[in-house]
């Protein structure tokens, strides 16, 4: 049993935890180019840690009991509304993250249209999967529209063609996760408004950076509430506002639409449940940490962080193509860079492995439709100091990758995998596939995935998305085998 028979002392518990955590990718220092956001400000964490722990046990479920959270949320949301140039009367909600913000935008759009039996959401194929999730959870159809193959931006005419009388929401990204580009928001919002359809702009990852770029005089596309027809916007704080994880905002031009994002129930014998978010009981810790980060960093601090992020991003965009065999996809608008290769001797998945060996994490992104496979880099303020060392190691990694044998999986393995049926896949079939791919399930649950992932990534990429989803869900299920 994992629960000790007798409680252990504080130091022993924390030592154990520290040892477990030591093998994780570093969250600070700018060597992990996805999932984490590092301001590089040494004194920020202690401020946020203290704020989060002060509010850790405060229950955000009831703002009438813990009244200080009302002021904190109104100040945090008000700051983001100002940043995205929301008109007077606009409102918002503090949520637990980007996915929750996007899903609540979908729920709001659905509940604002009770006249439609089964609605749909029109979005570019590059939209974050949070919208696919929202549609699945809230019973809507998602219509994914192909993007321009050169720019990776949404195609307004194709988006218009996908809209009909049951379209409840149109979505654009500012910017997209995969390629870091901003969709043509003014064109798409105008088309949606012309048909009376709300338009959500997903600024979860790019909204904060684009706004600060604009403030410091760096030209950015039009995307925020100054664009007529934009009805809601999501902006995460736990990304480029560098706040503790569990922090995002969902902003509405019209309070009536926010009202449709809420859940209320008086139909039971307990307290009347009014939830502004999908969680009910929730720690106010992330809200307090976000408020504290805003106070501690301030406008001048955020402007400086944006300047550093921009400098690092531009350096990478300019200098990555100087490494023979690599090129940047599209023209990134914010701080996300996707790097691909057209050279048959440079396998970007092998390059990812080679950089990993050198102490970096670049995130492999699979080919999708006819968009090429690539490596994703989330550039943060702390990345600036790492640009030169990363570029040196990247050049070295490309040179090594050229000498490696092909990581492409054996055709028989691909054939066996592709023959699996996602609807009926059994645990045994999955175990057989793992064994065929040379992975020992016991080793995977114990020590994680192998350091070299190129072969597995190629195999997964070769599978249809539904089968890939099913296999990876089975894999995650395997990882979460309870310890008893």
Ligand X SMILES: Cc1ncc(COP(=O)(O)O)c(C=O)c1O
Residues in the site for ligand X, rule: CB under 6 A? 97-99, 102, 128, 130, 173, 177, 202, 204-205, 236
Element (H, E) at 85: none
CB nearer to ligand X: pick between 224 and 347:
224
CB nearer to ligand X: pick between 236 and 354:
236
Token output for 227: 């664009």
Neighbours of 393 (CB within 10 A): 18
CB nearer to ligand X: pick between 178 and 316:
178
Token output for 414: 């691909």
Q: Smallest distance from the beta carbon of 38 to ligand X, in angstroms?
A: 15
CB nearer to ligand X: pick between 121 and 417:
121
Torsion-angle region of residue 209: left (phi > 0), alpha (psi -120 to 50) or beta? alpha
Q: Smallest distance from the beta carbon of 173 to ligand X, in angstroms?
A: 5
User: Residue holding tokens 């990581």?
Assistant: 407
CA distance 328 to 444: 33
Q: Smallest distance from the beta carbon of 231 to ligand X, in angstroms?
A: 17
* Alpha carbons within 13 A on the beta-carbon side of 282: 21
Q: Smallest distance from the beta carbon of 368 to ligand X, in angstroms?
A: 15
Q: Smallest distance from the beta carbon of 128 to ligand X, in angstroms?
A: 3
CB nearer to ligand X: pick between 257 and 334:
334
CA distance 344 to 163: 40
Please state the φ and ψ torsions of residue 468, each to the nearest 5 degrees: -60, -45
Please state the φ and ψ torsions of residue 459, each to the nearest 5 degrees: -65, -45
Q: What crossing angle do the helices spanning 411-418 and 427-436 adopt, rounded to 10°?
A: 170
Q: Smallest distance from the beta carbon of 235 to ligand X, in angstroms?
A: 10
Whether residue 175 has a cis bond before it, omega within 30° of 0 = yes
CA distance 398 to 344: 12
CB nearer to ligand X: pick between 138 and 430:
138
Residue with nearest beta carbon to ligand X: 98
Q: Smallest distance from the beta carbon of 244 to ligand X, in angstroms?
A: 12
CB nearer to ligand X: pick between 188 and 346:
188
């Amino acid at each position: 049993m994992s629960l000790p028979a007798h409680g252990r002392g504080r130091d022993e518990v924390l030592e154990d935890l520290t040892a477990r955590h030591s093998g994780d990718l570093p969250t600070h220092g700018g060597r992990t180019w996805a999932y984490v956001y590092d301001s590089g400000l040494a004194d920020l964490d202690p401020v946020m840690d203290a704020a989060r722990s002060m509010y850790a046990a405060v229950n955000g479920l009831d703002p009438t009991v813990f009244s200080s959270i009302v002021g904190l949320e109104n100040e945090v949301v008000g700051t983001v509304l100002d940043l995205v140039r929301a008109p007077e009367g606009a409102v918002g909600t503090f949520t637990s993250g980007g996915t929750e913000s996007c899903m609540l935008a979908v729920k709001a759009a659905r509940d604002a249209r009770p006249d439609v039996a089964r609605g749909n959401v029109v979005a570019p194929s590059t939209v974050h999967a949070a919208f696919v999730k929202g549609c699945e959870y809230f019973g809507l159809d998602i219509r994914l529209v192909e993007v321009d193959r050169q720019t990776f931006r949404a195609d307004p005419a194709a988006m218009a063609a996908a809209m009909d009388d049951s379209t409840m929401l149109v979505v654009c990204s500012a910017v997209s996760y995969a390629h870091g580009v901003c969709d043509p928001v003014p064109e798409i919002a105008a088309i949606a408004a012309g048909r009376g359809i709300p338009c959500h702009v997903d600024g979860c990852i790019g909204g904060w950076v684009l706004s600060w770029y604009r403030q410091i005089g760096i030209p950015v596309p039009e995307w925020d509430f100054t664009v007529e027809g934009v009805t809601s916007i999501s902006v995460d704080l736990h990304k480029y506002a560098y706040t503790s994880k569990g922090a995002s905002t969902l902003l509405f031009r019209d309070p009536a639409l926010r009202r449709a994002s809420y859940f209320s129930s008086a139909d039971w014998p307990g307290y009347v449940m009014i939830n502004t978010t999908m969680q009910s009981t929730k720690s106010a810790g992330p809200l307090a940490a976000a408020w504290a980060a805003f106070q501690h960093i301030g406008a001048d601090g955020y402007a400086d962080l944006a300047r550093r992020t921009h400098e690092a991003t531009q350096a990478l965009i300019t200098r990555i193509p100087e490494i023979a065999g690599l090129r940047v996809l599209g023209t990134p608008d914010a701080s996300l860079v996707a790097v691909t290769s057209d050279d048959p001797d440079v396998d970007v998945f092998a390059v990812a492995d080679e950089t990993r060996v050198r102490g970096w994490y670049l995130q492999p992104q699979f080919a999708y439709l006819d968009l090429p496979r690539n490596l994703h880099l989330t550039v943060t303020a702390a990345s600036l100091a790492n640009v030169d060392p990363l570029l040196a190691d990247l050049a070295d990694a490309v040179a090594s990758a050229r000498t490696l044998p092909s990581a492409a999986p054996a055709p028989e393995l691909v054939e066996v995998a592709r023959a699996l049926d996602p609807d009926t896949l059994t645990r045994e079939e999955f175990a057989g596939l793992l064994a065929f791919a040379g992975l020992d399930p016991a080793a995977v649950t114990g020590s994680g995935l192998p350091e070299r992932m190129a072969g597995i990534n190629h195999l997964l990429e070769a599978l249809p998305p539904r089968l890939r989803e099913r296999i990876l869900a089975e894999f995650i299920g395997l990882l979460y085998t309870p310890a008893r």
